[in-house]
Structure 1
Amino acid sequence: MGKSLFKLTSLNANGIRSAATKGVEAWIAKTRPDCICLQEVKAQAEDVEGRFEEMAGLKGHFHFAQKKGYSGVAVYTKHAPSDVIVGFGSGEFDAEGRYVELRFDTPARKFSVISCYFPSGSSGEERQQAKFRFLDAFDPHLVRLKQGRDFILCGDVNIAHSERDLKNWKGNRKNSGFLPEERAWMTKILSETGLVDVYRHLKPETTEECYTWWSNRGQAYAKNVGWRLDYHLATPPVAQLARQESIYKTERFSDHAPITVEYDFNL
């Protein structure tokens, strides 16, 4: 592999237009990632055209939701992909704009960067059941994908895996995002499916500094009553090349903080 690092950022933007008004483009230009994965872009093709097709010199590739102002994901990259995969083959969830995969394949290597936005179940039981259906459908997709290529999946997973990953874990054991079934799914992904939680690979014991999302209620951000919901999930050969991570909290572009990992390879 080459000498330079591959710098990969993930951010739930909570609306790309909203994040732009809060300075996210200038921050991307300053930090200069190779790729940035966005979730919850909350835009349609006509909103992006002529405005967000590129940001800070990076070319955007999108999966828009059919419903306006809802969901949507993107990967912005300075490297031209060999292929772009929109959706993962689920009629229900592909309509919600939750998955875009950029492939950077060479004769020597098959490698993907994925931006994925997992459903939230916090609005009620109907969406919680949808979240469970998503998890059931997504697990076999990841198994199949891992059999044929290396990848890094960046995204808002909407699950805090362990007690270290949220401040008020005792009070949230019956709440979406920390339900036993959701946490068991994460455990399965990291054990049976064999993916690596890259942040935890680099920082196995951190607590308060690991949070990437804060409620807008009750001064949660000021008091750092947060959750770790945003992940880099990688196949083991790629995860072993992770060198350093950072969660940026100096400026706020959304209710999530961007998480960046630098990997010891280049495209």
Structure 2
Amino acid sequence: MKLCRIETPDGIKPAMIDADGAARDLTQHLTDIELATMAPAALDQLRDVDVTALPVITGRFAPVINDIRRILCIGLNYSDHAAEAGMDVPDHPILFSKLCAATGANDPIIIPKDSEKTDWEVELAVVIGTKAQHVSEADALSHVAGYATFNDVSERAFQIEFGGQWVKGKSCDSFAPIGPYLVTADEVPDPQNLDLWLDVNGTRRQTGNTRTMVFSVAEIISFLSRFMTLLPGDVIATGTPPGVGMGFKPPVYLQPGDVVELGIEGLGDQRQEVIKFNG
């Protein structure tokens, strides 16, 4: 299934994508796509819905879950991205978090005040569906509700040049576009064989495949579950392939008026216009 949330004149409505790519209104079956929806039993109930009998709705994609619990991120998880960043391939997954609210797949990227180095990162996002605590790699994927396209927008000066942790360069408003939809895990038989891409102003900047991750999705979930209990609604952004702006010589960063387009095989595409902070 492909589940999403659609902004309409009557508010945000839960929806399911049909075989032709149209969004079908799910409000007669549930009030929203939320933490409870991620439970296996709840997803099984939705699988029994006749999507063709639901009304078509149109509007802007909202974040795929209304109450994302937290956004956990893995850094330098593609060896060629680590090389372009001038950093060593890590021995263990590098964890940081994004403390901003998620935004819809096509919502604008806002260049923060005083930013000169706002950057892009296409990533596979994993949405946890059931509690995961000290899980093995063999069992890790059974805790996944689904997958989504994610743009880990980053401000490199804030992230690297101001000392301390990366969080401050990752948490500016609009820095977590997710979606357009959540693809349930049963429709992604191998999360380690998905093509990723990202364009800026029509020029291809990133091309990759999840098979080149340093740490697989299963390894990441197992590793994180040793140190924290993962719960429904947790989102894990699993790292980016090479081609980010700071890796160019000289670096290339986003400017107001730019258009960022990105996608992951089977998980849908995003399109974000870049605008200047106005506050």
Larger radius of gyration: 2
TM-score normalized with structure 1 length: 0.30
More strand by share: 2
TM-score normalized with structure 2 length: 0.29
More helix by share: 1
| Higher RCO (CA < 8 A, seq sep 6+) | 2
